[in-house]
A and B are shown apart, each in its own frame.
Chain A
Amino acid sequence: MARRAWLAVAALLWALPAAASPADTFGLGARSAAMGSAVSADVRDFSANYYNPSGLALARGLDLTAGYSYAAHALEMNDKDSRVDPVRGIVGGIVAPGSIGFLPFAFGIATFLPDDRLSRARASRQEDPRWVLYDNRTQLIFISANIAIRPFEWLSVGGGMTYLAATRGSFGISGTAVLASEYDSQLRHEVDADLTTQRYPEFGVTVRPHDRLDLAAVYRHQAAIELDIDAELAGTVDASLAKVPARYALESHTVNAFIPRQVVIGESYRPVDELSINLDLKWVQWSAFKSPVSRSSTTLEVDVPPGLIELPPNPKPTRVEDPGFSDRIVPELGIEYRLAVTPDLTVPLRAGYIYEHSPVPPQTGLTNYVDTDRHVLSVGSGVVLREVGAVLPGNVRFDTYAQLSILPTRITLKDSPADYVGDYRARGTILNVGASVSVGFE
């Protein structure tokens, strides 16, 4: 039985579809987001798949969650709206604890499914201003699957995989184009596209040195979601008086989104039974950030009789500059007070704060990765109902949260007076709200 369980989990880990992580930016789950994501040592619902897989082994029973979240950007440059898309979608997951022999064991799945689009790839030129941390990176599916064990009462360990989608594609057009009559043209086209899978692992450990204190450490590996496109147009242009062979080739490679390596250490202290005070410190290796600029090269070969048409020169291949981002330590603070209204009804009150010092260096040169520091203030509440009925020997939880990110003004003064982008000031806010319903069996 135990072997079958392991095999089932292993098969699940390898068979899941492509996915990625907007959780880095907005958090995952109503409770965790309300507490400023400072839950690495205090998580036992589905969001443990992201925050700390070892928390799965602390769940008391099967736990199911479904909800919805919506993040609206109000980001601007020089008082003009940058029109960064909202991020919204269904969030949810499962925690399924059990045991293998005497060893407590659990596995879980968490997902964020955007309802706008499954993914977005947008390649920009190097000098184009873009809110680099908020445009493509958050427009992704997130699916994470993990397992955890609890070999001792004071220790749990977990790990698993998060899945990313990388796109490789090519298309080709060949044949003859008749300028005088398009109906006489004969063109063939071929499209070959692959949505390939990239995986990155995460691990976590939770230690309980004291009844009122939990400590945690988490590692999340880095990942890059890439977009490769090759295109070729080859054929003959029939201009009646002359048949002109032509070939156009495009090769483009883009890092659509980059998830940096992260190490988190956290604590959860409960001075009284009703109160949790959490602090996480997250190291983010932004220095490994890969430029989202498209590395493309094009070739146009047309054997044109002199004086017929004017052809533009082939553009030079893009020379991509190192983004030069810096590693950051992000403090996350969360607090939860569980107000017991009746023995079967508890109202949790939550709040959180995150400070992210921008990893993006001053954009005084060619590149324009727009970003500012970020202060995240969050609040949340909910209802926990126990002993709902005979069919549910556990609890039902409704949770809501609101998270306001304040991005204070950052002024960019260009070194070159002949810079085509010029000086700008960037600022904005992001409002992220959500709600979920959970059912816990005990």
Chain B
Amino acid sequence: MRFRASCALASVWMLSCGTLATEAGDTGAERPNALAGPFRLLGKDEIDAPGAPYVLDKQFWRFRQPTVLADEPGVVLGATHLYAVATDTGVSGLFRFVAPDGRTFSPKPDPAAPVIALEDADAPEVARVGDAIWLFYSTPAGIFLARSSDGAVFELPTAPVLGPGGGGWEGGKPPRAPAHVQIAPDDHRLLYEVNGRIGEARSSNGEAWTRVGDGPLLEPGDDVDGEPAFDGFEVGDPEVLQARSPEGRWVTRVYYTGRAADGSTGIGLAARFGDEGPLERATSPAFTGPRGPRAPAVVPQGAFTLLFLEQRAGTKEDWPAIAAGIAPATRRIPVP
């Protein structure tokens, strides 16, 4: 009798082991390369100012062509400087703006005067090289390099470091929209836009640049499945950085503006292993939107990446403004 009761109890116990369902699954697993994109725009709770996803938006200032430099590399969402082309009371130039939290920029430039007071200065690119701040920019004469010790006062150069020339594919036009990366202490690379394509040059000191190869590094994209590519007409505004894959492979990533024949734009991603050779495109853009996104600037922030770009300020507001995005798109950075 006792045995039968034990059997019955054991059976009931085994059949009653069910518990409430759990909610989990592997689709939440983050992609190893999620820092590379795709990006989403920041939301209202992620910028400590009205107007998200815009971080700089004033109709007559016409903020455009951002480039960004963190004050202290390695500090997540620390003080950050953004250089952009802007127009103040009719005077255009390259201005510097400050964000204490890495993305909420004061609309008042610091310093108040442009750091490069040239009407035709365009497409700045800022980089920290040793103890100096280098600021590349382009004019109709080519690409110039200004240097500074504090990022606020720059010595104006008298001649471009990269002027018109190069192979036939450049068509004798001046290069613009520089993007700089330092591979080694005496190995600098400069990506630039000419003729709707992206080229590459190298230098040991930042002053004397030699074009790499006889052709462009990146050309407009081919049709995909019979459909025109988002960057099928022109590519430009490169932004370059180096990263290491989870398996330790060095990857050079290039973000760029892709333009289709209908005038629409998107932010593309192309990359290569190491620091030599051709670029390979990602299968889809890193960011798209209906307001003409262009001129990407990317800032790694440890577990995520911030993207700053230029696009129209609204559906009816057709002036340019600077917006911010983030990758992985699942990551949120609410303001404390």
Residues of A within 8 A of B (CB): 66-68, 70, 75, 77-78, 80-86, 88-90, 115-117, 122, 124, 127-131, 135, 307-312, 316, 319, 366, 388-389, 396, 398, 411, 413-414, 416-425, 435-437
By DSSP majority rule, is chain A's interface helix, strand, loop, or mixed?
Answer: loop
Q: Are A310 and B315 in contact (CB under 8 A)?
A: yes
- Other-chain residue from B10, B38, B290 in contact with A398 (beta carbon distance below 8 A): B10
Report the 7 A-B pairs with minimum CB-CB distance, sorted nearest first. Answer: A422-B33, A115-B18, A417-B271, A418-B282, A418-B271, A423-B247, A422-B32
Q: Report the nearest A residue to B224, measured CB to CB.
A: A316
Which residues of the other chain, A, contact B31 by a CB distance below 8 angstroms? 128-129, 420-422
| B225 in contact (CB, < 8 A) | yes
Q: Are B15 and A425 in contact (CB under 8 A)?
A: no
Residues of B within 8 A of A (CB): 3-4, 7, 10-11, 14-15, 17-19, 21-22, 24-34, 36-38, 225, 227, 245-247, 249, 251-253, 269-273, 279-284, 290-291, 315-316
Shortest distance from the beta carbon of A345 to any chain B beta carbon, whole Å: 12
Q: Report the nearest A residue to B272, measured CB to CB.
A: A417
In angstroms, Cα B273 to Cα A419, docked, is 11
> Which interface residue of B246, B252, B269 has the most chain A CB atoms within 10 A?
B246
Given A310-B290, A411-B247: A420 and B38 interface contact (C-beta under 8 Å): yes
Which residues of the other chain, A, contact B29 by a CB distance below 8 angstroms? 77, 80-83, 129
How many residue pairs, one in A and one in B, have C-beta atoms under 8 Å apart? 138
In angstroms, Cα B291 to Cα A77, docked, is 37
Q: Report the nearest A residue to B13, measured CB to CB.
A: A68
Q: Are B32 and A416 in contact (CB under 8 A)?
A: no
In angstroms, Cα B14 to Cα A387, docked, is 23
Q: Are B22 and A86 in contact (CB under 8 A)?
A: yes
Which residues of the other chain, B, contact A416 by a CB distance below 8 angstroms? 271, 280, 282-283
Q: Are B272 and A85 in contact (CB under 8 A)?
A: no
Q: Are A396 and B7 in contact (CB under 8 A)?
A: yes
Q: Report the nearest A residue to B314, measured CB to CB.
A: A310
New contact pairs (10) apart from A67-B14, A82-B29, CB-CB < 8 Å: A83-B24, A115-B18, A115-B19, A388-B3, A389-B3, A398-B10, A420-B284, A424-B246, A425-B246, A436-B14
> Which interface residue of A84, A312, A424 has the most chain B CB atoms within 10 A?
A424
- Other-chain residue from A83, A117, A418, A436 in contact with B26 (beta carbon distance below 8 A): A83
Which residues of the other chain, B, contact A413 by a CB distance below 8 angstroms? 247, 249
Given A422-B32, A425-B247: A435 and B14 interface contact (C-beta under 8 Å): yes
Q: Offer 7 A-B interface pairs, CB within 8 angstroms, sorted by A.
A: A78-B32, A85-B25, A88-B18, A310-B315, A418-B283, A419-B282, A420-B37
Shortest distance from the beta carbon of B265 to any chain A beta carbon, whole Å: 13
Which residues of the other chain, B, contact A130 by a CB distance below 8 angstroms? 26-27
- Other-chain residue from A82, A307, A316, A424 in contact with B316 (beta carbon distance below 8 A): A307
Q: Report the nearest A residue to B31, measured CB to CB.
A: A421
> Which interface residue of B32, B227, B251 has the most chain A CB atoms within 10 A?
B32
Which residues of the other chain, B, contact A90 by a CB distance below 8 angstroms? 15, 18
By DSSP majority rule, is chain B's interface helix, strand, loop, or mixed?
Answer: loop
Shortest distance from the beta carbon of A152 to any chain B beta carbon, whole Å: 37
- Other-chain residue from B10, B281, B284 in contact with A437 (beta carbon distance below 8 A): B10
Q: Are A389 and B4 in contact (CB under 8 A)?
A: yes
Q: Are B290 and A312 in contact (CB under 8 A)?
A: yes
In angstroms, Cα B246 to Cα A308, docked, is 45
Q: Report the nearest A residue to B244, measured CB to CB.
A: A423
In angstroms, Cα B280 to Cα A181, docked, is 50
Given A66-B14, A420-B282, A425-B247: A307 and B315 interface contact (C-beta under 8 Å): yes
In angstroms, Cα B29 to Cα A80, docked, is 8
- Other-chain residue from B26, B36, B252, B281 in contact with A135 (beta carbon distance below 8 A): B26
Q: Are A68 and B17 in contact (CB under 8 A)?
A: yes
In angstroms, Cα B85 to Cα A210, docked, is 90
Shortest distance from the beta carbon of B224 to any chain A beta carbon, whole Å: 9
Q: Are A122 and B271 in contact (CB under 8 A)?
A: no
Q: Are A319 and B225 in contact (CB under 8 A)?
A: yes
In angstroms, Cα B282 to Cα A418, docked, is 5
Which residues of the other chain, B, contact A83 by a CB distance below 8 angstroms? 24-26, 28-29
In angstroms, Cα B247 to Cα A272, docked, is 53
Given A78-B246, A411-B247, A421-B31: A85 and B22 interface contact (C-beta under 8 Å): yes
> Which interface residue of A127, A128, A135, A414 has the most chain B CB atoms within 10 A?
A414
Q: Report the nearest A residue to B248, measured CB to CB.
A: A423
In angstroms, Cα B283 to Cα A418, docked, is 8
Q: Are B26 and A423 in contact (CB under 8 A)?
A: no
Which residues of the other chain, B, contact A311 by a CB distance below 8 angstroms? 290
Shortest distance from the beta carbon of B245 to any chain A beta carbon, whole Å: 4
Which residues of the other chain, A, contact B247 by a CB distance below 8 angstroms? 411, 413, 423-425
Q: Are A420 and B34 in contact (CB under 8 A)?
A: yes
Which residues of the other chain, A, contact B246 by a CB distance below 8 angstroms? 78, 422-425
> Which interface residue of B14, B18, B271, B315 has the most chain A CB atoms within 10 A?
B14
In angstroms, Cα B227 to Cα A67, docked, is 56
Q: Are B27 and A77 in contact (CB under 8 A)?
A: no
- Other-chain residue from B26, B249, B316 in contact with A84 (beta carbon distance below 8 A): B26
Q: Are B21 and A117 in contact (CB under 8 A)?
A: yes
In angstroms, Cα B269 to Cα A417, docked, is 10
Which residues of the other chain, A, contact B283 by a CB distance below 8 angstroms? 127, 366, 416, 418-420
Shortest distance from the beta carbon of B243 to any chain A beta carbon, whole Å: 9
In angstroms, Cα B317 to Cα A425, docked, is 47
Given A67-B14, A411-B247, A421-B32: A129 and B26 interface contact (C-beta under 8 Å): yes
Which residues of the other chain, A, contact B38 by a CB distance below 8 angstroms? 420
Given A307-B315, A389-B4: A417 and B273 interface contact (C-beta under 8 Å): yes
Which residues of the other chain, B, contact A420 by a CB distance below 8 angstroms? 31, 33-34, 36-38, 269, 282-284
In angstroms, Cα B121 to Cα A41, docked, is 82
Given A312-B290, A418-B270, A422-B245: A131 and B10 interface contact (C-beta under 8 Å): no
Q: Are A418 and B280 in contact (CB under 8 A)?
A: yes
Which residues of the other chain, B, contact A366 by a CB distance below 8 angstroms? 283
In angstroms, Cα B235 to Cα A222, docked, is 49
